[in-house]
Structure 1
Amino acid sequence: MPLINFPSQCNVQAIFDFCSKIEECANEEKVTIDFSNMGRVEPFTMVYVAKFIRDFNRRNKETRVMCRGHKGKDYAANMGFFRAFGLKHGREPNCVDGNDRFVPFTILRVQTIIDEASAEWEAEQNVIERRSEHLAKILSQEEHGDLNDALTFSIREIMRNVYEHSNSKSLEYCAQYWPYYNKVEIAIVDNGKGLKASLKDNPHIEIESHCDGIQQALMPAISSKNYKGAIIDTEDPWHNSGFGLYMINRICRLGGSFIVCSGDHAIKLDVNGKEHIDLPHLCRGTAVRMVLNTSRLTALSNMLAKFRDEGYEVAKQIKGVGMYKASVASQMLSRDFVKNDA
């Protein structure tokens, strides 16, 4: 019976290799995962691994996944990590709201967003905005400020991408803020069709691989719904302009980092540039890791204005895009444009 040790370090390459070892056991009768060496585990590790093991179980019903060494791993247990992939240990996902600058493993159904919006007679994106602001307040422990604004914007734009493009029935997230290290990490995954399939809806761009899909998605003014010939309601502040992921990765690159995984590829962006990572397994859907350096954040409106203007210049050089300006939502917090419209 194969034995797979959970890595002591939670760097992304170690996590990807760990998931691949599980995938290699698809034809085994049993496989045991040993969590004894688990050290400090971070949000991306929890959401990525939990989703991978759960997906593995669904695809390989004849393979029994067993676990050991997980007792005593209190942080991961309290964050809902173990229960998220079916191990009856620790708290259930969604069981607590989060406090002390962390958001535990949470599974949000897209239908819940739709139902809440319908009950309030409002756009689904307004619901996403409120939830994002709520999460930002938990992490930052403040009602207002540069960190709160940056978190609200970043969480909202990723959640919007899931809701508007992925066809996923749910999104899963987890987050933690470490003030001593000036670091916030937010991880969000979905179970959708992935970036490659999504961007193929845009007839003006060529997508031949998952790598192509990720690279295009990170560019400004690239969208599966906003292109020449598409029907766009530019009066709608929530209209999709393809600037969301671009704006977020620019914020994260201010001393932090941004990783997006989809299919068989991942791209990491930070102050050192771009790193391509070939995944040794398949990431079904899309997974995002956002790390913000809180000491580098300034007024969000100023940061986004700078990134927007630079994004326009980049978009002008890309064939078939740049016909539309970035949507209001992708340029600022919704409370700003609501105020302006009043």
Structure 2
Amino acid sequence: MPDIRYPSNCSARAIFNFCDEIEQYSGSDRVLIDFSGMYRIEPFTMVYVAKYIREFNRRNKKTKVSCIGHKNKDYAANMGFFRAFGLKHGREPNCVDGNDRFVPYTILRTQTIIDEATKDWEPEQDVIERRAAHLSEILAQQSTGNLVDALTYSIREIMRNVYEHSQSKSLDYCAQYWPYYNRVEIAIVDHGIGLRSSLQKNPFVQVDSDSDAIQQALMPAISSINYRGAVIDTNDPWHNSGFGLYMSNRICRLGGSFLICSGDHGIKLDENGKEHIELPHKCRGTAVRMVLNTKRLTELADMLATFREDGYRIARQIKGVGAYEASAASQMLSRDFTK
């Protein structure tokens, strides 16, 4: 039986290689995953690996996946990691909201968002922001402040992208805040069509590869549904302007990092620049890791105003792509634009 060892570190490249090693045994009768070398596990590691193993199981229904070395991995078990990919050990996803500055593995179905919005006669995006704010308050252990605002905005914008563009029936997320290190990590994955298929709906965007799609998606004013000639209700503060993903990655680059993967490619952004990652396997849908440096966060309105002006300068150079004006939602939290 093939014995695949879980990596001793949780770097993105180590996790990608681990998933690819599993992929090499597609069609095998049995696969054994050894978790005894797991010394540290972080939010992105959990959602990416759990999603990958779950999808591997669906594609290889005749392959029996067994696990060893997981019984004493209490943190991962408490976060719902093992149950998330079908191993009967630890807590189930969605079991608790979390405490002590962490949000365990959670699966949010898009139909749940629709049902809540219908029940309360409100836009789906209001439901998404409310959930994002709730997660942020758990992580920060407070209800107001720069950290809560930055987290709420960043989480909301990634969730909005999943809901509005991915055609995914659900999204998975978990998060952790380490105050001692001034570090917050949020990871969100979906099971949708991926960035390449989404952006190909925009006739002004040329997307020939997954790398092209990710780079375009990170630019301001680029969206699958916002382009010159598209029917857009600019009076709707939630209309998609293609600025949310750009703004979120700018927040993360203030001493943190932003990683996004889709298809066969990934891009990591931080203060040192851009790193391209060729994935050794296919990432179905989109996966995002946001790492924020809490010491570098200032008032959200000031940060976004600076990023917005930078974004406008870039957008003006992209002829015909978007409407160039960021929507109200992309510039602030809803409590500000609904006053």
Same fold per superposition (TM over 0.5): yes
Q: Which residue of 1 aligns with 2:60?
A: 60
Q: Which residue of 2 aligns with 1:203?
A: 203
Q: Which residue of 2 aligns with 1:92?
A: 92
In the TM superposition, 1:1-342 aligns within 5 A as: 1-339=1-339
Q: Deviations over 1:151-175 (max 9, x none)?
A: 0000000000000000000000000
Distance 1:242 1:252 in 2: 17
Distance 1:138 1:191 in 2: 25
Identity of aligned residues (%): 74
Q: Deviations over 1:209-268 (max 9, x none)?
A: 000110000000000010011001000000000001100000000000000000000000
Q: Deviations over 1:312-341 (max 9, x none)?
A: 0000111322533001001001111111xx
Per the alignment, in what secondary structure is the counterpart of residue 262 of structure 1? strand
Q: Is the contact between residue 211 and residue 266 of structure 1 (CA under 8 Å) also seen in structure 2?
A: yes
Distance 1:217 1:324 in 2: 15
Q: 1:325 to 1:234 in 2, by over 3 A?
A: same
Per the alignment, in what secondary structure is the counterpart of residue 233 of structure 1? coil
**Which is further off, 273-282 or 322-331?**
322-331
Q: Is the contact between residue 252 and residue 293 of structure 1 (CA under 8 Å) also seen in structure 2?
A: yes
Q: TM-score, normalised by structure 1?
A: 0.99
What count of residue pairs does the alignment treat as equivalent? 339
Q: TM-score, normalised by structure 2?
A: 0.99
Q: Please tell me the root mean square deviation across aligned C-alpha atoms, in Å.
A: 0.6
Quick one: which amino acid aligns to residue 194 of structure 2?
A: G
Q: Deviations over 1:273-330 (max 9, x none)?
A: 0000000000000000000000000000000000000000000111322533001001
Distance 1:84 1:205 in 2: 36
- Alpha-carbon offset, residue 27 of structure 1: 1.9
**Which is further off, 89-98 or 321-330?**
321-330
Q: Is the contact between residue 312 and residue 322 of structure 1 (CA under 8 Å) also seen in structure 2?
A: no
Q: Is the contact between residue 101 and residue 139 of structure 1 (CA under 8 Å) also seen in structure 2?
A: yes
Q: Which runs of 5 or more structure 1 residues have no equivalent in the other structure?
A: none
Distance 1:298 1:116 in 2: 32
